[in-house]
Amino acid sequence: MLFYCKIVLNGLKPLKMKSLVIFALCLISSLSYSQETSYTEEELSITQWIDGTLLTPIEGKKPNLAIIIAGSGPTNRNGNQNFLKNNSLKKLAVGLTENGIATFRYDKRIVKQILQNKVDKNIMFDDFVKDASDIISFFKAKDSYSKIYVIGHSQGSLIGMLSAKDTADGFISLAGAGNNIGDVLIEQVTKMAPMLGEETERVVKILKTGESTTDYPAALGSLFGPDIQDFMINWMTYYPTEIIKELNMPVLIVNGTKDLQVSVKEAEVLKEANPTSELVIIENMNHVLFEIEGDDLENSKSYNESFRPVSPQLIKIVTDFIKS
């Protein structure tokens, strides 16, 4: 459009004022054209603590809906935390909606609590499950969607399994652990800091019994500190392989070969527990859903690189699964 306008202007050099008017109209037209989207965007408050963004395809009277659940930590609806901005979940949502699937992504309740300076020190893992369940119930009551799918990323995978059971039409695990979070932590710590592996195993064993402890190395305070132990104890009561067995719905399990946090082995464990599920391993995809060609340094830096696109393979795989 803008190229055509330049041709018109070149043929109207004596008519300067008219040329300017034509140029202005063409510029406005070209900008409007470039800003057109195939979906609408709406901000919704589901409960006291849960706010999110609903994207709805313009075409289609009753689309499928995908509810996207973020991973661990104070992660917002876009997949970001305070000092890490990659917009991975926002890009995932937009990619799916551009393919005709409505999406709802939301801030975890801890995000709003931090913003309001009202952090609940007694927050539990089960609170996140309740939030996801409330969201599913909210959209089911609307009766505006053909089917409702739950997409859980990382920690959100287990949350998604628990909330989707008997309520959703399908479930998708992205970079979700197959083993108990206590066992996952033992593996992760042992890999990153071998000298702390045995201590991590000892503390996890105590927490799995439902008991708290003050006997842990200072270096493990971020995992087992007094403010988080009850949350971890609650989280450790769940075994993803046991939960995924109970999902009587289509299940898709996706992991990347360059995931630094959740190995492909975890996805394979989930697949083994639910043989009817579909397992897809995406070459070079990392934990924040980007495809990485380089080494671990590039991989870790990408967590804060919002210019990167989400894996196109991931968008296609999830789209095809939901539409199948």
pLDDT at 82: 87
Encode pLDDT of 39-91 as tens digits. 999 999 999 999 999 999 998 789 999 999 999 999 999 999 988 999 999 99
Q: Tell me which CATH homologous superfamily contains domain 39-180+238-323.
A: Alpha/Beta hydrolase fold, catalytic domain (3.40.50.1820)
How far is the C-alpha of 226 from the C-alpha of 249, rounded, in Å? 38
Range of weakest confidence among 68-72, 188-192, 282-286: 188-192
Give the long-range contacts of residues 269-272, CB within 8 A, separation 24 or more: 269/178, 269/179, 269/240, 269/241, 270/173, 270/176, 270/178, 270/240, 270/241, 270/244, 272/178, 272/241
Radius of gyration of the chain (CA): 23
Percent above pLDDT 90 for the chain: 83
Find the mean pLDDT for residues 195-209.
97
At 120, is the secondary structure helix, strand, or coil? coil
CB 249 within 8 A of CB 173: no
pTM over 0.75: yes
- Sign of the alpha-carbon dihedral angle for 187, 313, 149, 119: positive
Please state the rounded mean pLDDT for residues 110-123: 92
Q: Where are the alpha helices (DSSP H) in 193-228?
A: 197-208, 221-224
Domain residue spans in the chain? Answer: 2-34, 39-180+238-323, 183-231
Q: What is the pLDDT of residue 19?
A: 52
Rounded-to-10 torsion of CA 264, 268, 274, 277: 60
